[in-house]
Structure 1
Amino acid sequence: MADTTTPHTALLTALATEHFVQQSAISATISEMASRTTIYIMSLSSALVATGFVAQSPEFLQPFLLAVLPSLFLLGSFTVLRLIDIAAENMQAHIGIARIRAYYRTLGDDAAFQFSKEFGRWPENDAEPSLRSGPLLAHLTTAATMIAFVNGIVAAAGVTLLALYIGSALAPALCLGAGTTTGLMILFYWYQRLRTKGMVRLAKAYGPEKSVL
């Protein structure tokens, strides 16, 4: 039987399939983000409970913390890096969907209305809810930022305890811990913005719309 499918119909079928694939990718990234965040928080909670039990035996507390705190910090760092990668994958899928919607708008007046920019998400619509308070707040309220801050507290605790162990007074040790958290957050924020700007440049180069990030 001869194939009666026109190139136009075949293209629309392919675009609809790709649209579904990109939306599935977005759902997968959100699911993975939630899973990785949960793993870290559960690990941290378990470590805190274990610390409470070990604290009853002071001779075991120090070696326990020496083993647990660096491990938690490494787990948190790996989690944060992966969360940023996941966010980039999510943005890439949104760029793909925006390009497909841009083609849908060329199918006629009804399609132009149904798939208009105003009804789209980033990078089509500059009124993305997460951006209404500005890019700064948007970056400070991500899942990656949340884990990075908690991980910074873990690092601060380790640095503070180490400073006290080598003979530092309490106030300088606390200041050193606070400085550690601040430095790590600044480094993380810079890296997250760097990765986000890379995806924004991709959206501007290959996407149909401009971005405000």
Structure 2
Amino acid sequence: MAEEESRDAGPSAALMSAIVTEQFVLQSAASTTVSEALGRSSLYLSALSSSLIALGFASQTPGLLLPFAAAALPTVFVLGLFTTVRLVGTGVQNVLYLSSIARIRAYYRELDPEAACYFARWNAGEGETDDALGSLAVKSGPMAGLFTAASMVAVINGVLGGVCLALLTYYLVTDHHLPAALAVGLSTATVCLTMFYRCQHHRYLNIQR
């Protein structure tokens, strides 16, 4: 009888306090992933813009442009790879944290018959991940990670990689043959973006299962 009365009385104060604390911790962790993504994206874009400005000054000195570009552009490209990988990780972390918050919201929704209108789902999907993506105005599926910060940096970095190989082809391989250099650059950018999309899609697909 005591156990039935305890169930009818609802969750204990200690449990509710723990759930509220956990939700606060998850919200703070989700905010941290967004801040980290912003910081890493800003660092990469600052390095890229600084390198491009320096290239403009280097182009005014004969014989300096090619060595400087050979040193600066690959370095920024590698930085972009590291940044992209980490941005995918922070994006996945954010969705995981939001999925846990969605689980807590689902518990709140069941506390009272009238609670459903105050803790409505963000997405029509059945899973917590669908609800989490819905809070970001994103639908689960192959396009879920396409418009992330990682995708933005990957596009810029893919173009940078294409430019690097195009310059290498133009000056050192084909003896200033522009069509061949453009073909190499476009192919490189396409391969980089395809590999990134497949990797990111695989990471997001794992958390949507």
TM over 0.5: yes
- 1:187 pairs, out of 195, 198, 201, with 195
Shift of 1:124: 2.5
CA deviations 1:121-142 (Å, max 9, x no partner) are: 853378556336x845543321
1:165 maps to a residue whose letter is Y
- 1:163 pairs, out of 169, 175, 184, with 169
What corresponds to 1:13 in structure 2? 17
Counterparts of 2:132 and 2:97 in 1: how far apart (Å)?
15
Runs of 4+ displaced beyond 4 Å: 118-122, 125-129, 134-138
CA deviations 1:184-204 (Å, max 9, x no partner) are: 000000000000011112xxx
- 1:76 pairs, out of 80, 91, 110, with 80
Which shows bigger deviation, 114-123 or 96-105?
114-123
1:106 aligns with 2:106: no
CA RMSD of aligned residues (A): 2.3
Q: Tell me if the contact between 2:123 and 2:135 (Cα under 8 Å) persists in the aligned partners.
A: no
Shift of 1:110: 2.5
Shift of 1:93: 0.3
Give matches, 1:16-35, under 5 Å.
16-35=20-39
- 1:123 pairs, out of 130, 147, 170, with 130
Counterparts of 1:118 and 1:74 in 2: how far apart (Å)?
37
2:71 maps to a residue whose letter is A
Q: Tell me if the contact between 1:98 and 1:123 (Cα under 8 Å) persists in the aligned partners.
A: no
CA 1:119 to 1:74, structure 2 compared with 1: closer, same or farther past 3 Å?
Answer: closer
Q: Tell me if the contact between 2:88 and 2:200 (Cα under 8 Å) persists in the aligned partners.
A: yes
TM-score, scaled to structure 2? 0.85
- 2:156 pairs, out of 150, 154, 161, with 150
> How many equivalent residue pairs?
195
SS of the equivalent of 2:84 reads helix
What corresponds to 2:5 in structure 1? none
What corresponds to 2:184 in structure 1? 176
TM-score, scaled to structure 1? 0.84
Which shows bigger deviation, 136-145 or 68-77?
136-145
Structure 1: state its 5+ residue gaps.
1-5, 202-213
2:100 maps to a residue whose letter is G
CA 1:125 to 1:73, structure 2 compared with 1: closer, same or farther past 3 Å?
Answer: closer
Counterparts of 2:115 and 2:56 in 1: how far apart (Å)?
61
Shift of 1:114: 1.5
Which shows bigger deviation, 118-127 or 180-189?
118-127
